[in-house]
Amino acid sequence: MIARRVFTISALFVLMLGAPVAHALTEGPYNFDIVNGEAVITNFDRYYSGVLAITNTLGGCPVTAISDSAFFERAISAVIIPETVISIGPGPFVDCGNLTNISVKTDNPNYSATNGVLFDKNCTSLIQYPPGLNGGYEIPYGVTVICQDAFQHCCYLTEVTMPSTVTDIGDRAFLACFALTNAPFSSGLIRIGDSAFYFTGMTLLNIPDSVTSIGDNAFQYCDSLSSVSIGNSVTNIGWGAFYDCTSLTSVSIPDSVTSIGDYAFNNCSSLPSVTIGNSVTSIGNYAFVGCESLTSVLFTGDAPSIKSNAFYSTPATLYYLPAYASSWPSIFDVLPTLCWNPTVQPGAAFGFAADHFGFNISGTTNIPVKVEATTNLASAVWQPVTNATLNSSGLLSVSDPASSSLPARFYRIVFP
Domain-embedded: residue 75 = no
Q: Distance between CA atoms of 308 and 154, rounded to whole angstroms? A: 38
What is the reported pLDDT for 95? 64
- Whether the per-residue pLDDT at 325 is higher than 90: the answer is yes
- Are 289 and 269 contacting, i.e. CB atoms less than 8 angstroms apart? no
Domain-embedded: residue 364 = yes
Q: How confident is the model at residue 403 (pLDDT cuts 50, 70, 90)?
A: confident
Average of pLDDT values for 365-372? 96
Q: Distance between CA atoms of 107 and 324, rounded to whole angstroms? A: 64
Q: Which of 111, 65, 124, 125 is nearest to 92 (CA)?
A: 65
Q: Which domain holds residue 366?
A: 343-414
Q: Distance between CA atoms of 66 and 47, rounded to whole angstroms? A: 19
Helices (H) and strands (E) in the chain, counts: 1, 34
- Whether the per-residue pLDDT at 321 is higher than 90: the answer is yes
Convert the pLDDT of each residue in 202-249 to its tens digit.
999 999 999 999 999 999 999 999 999 999 999 999 999 999 999 999
- Whether the per-residue pLDDT at 124 is higher than 70: the answer is no
Residue 188: what residue type? G
- Structural domain tally of the chain? 1
Convert the pLDDT of each residue in 91-122 to its tens digit.
666 666 666 555 544 443 333 333 333 333 33
What is the reported pLDDT for 361? 96
What is the reported pLDDT for 247? 98
Convert the pLDDT of each residue in 11-53 to its tens digit.
223 333 344 444 579 999 999 999 899 999 988 988 888 888 8
Q: Which of 393, 388, 358 is nearest to 373 (CA)?
A: 358
Domain-embedded: residue 378 = yes
What is the reported pLDDT for 162? 76
Domain-embedded: residue 176 = no
User: How many CA atoms lie within 13 Å of 298's alpha carbon, on the beta-carbon side?
Assistant: 23
Domain-embedded: residue 385 = yes
What is the reported pLDDT for 99? 63
Domain-embedded: residue 370 = yes
- Whether the per-residue pLDDT at 348 is higher than 80: the answer is no
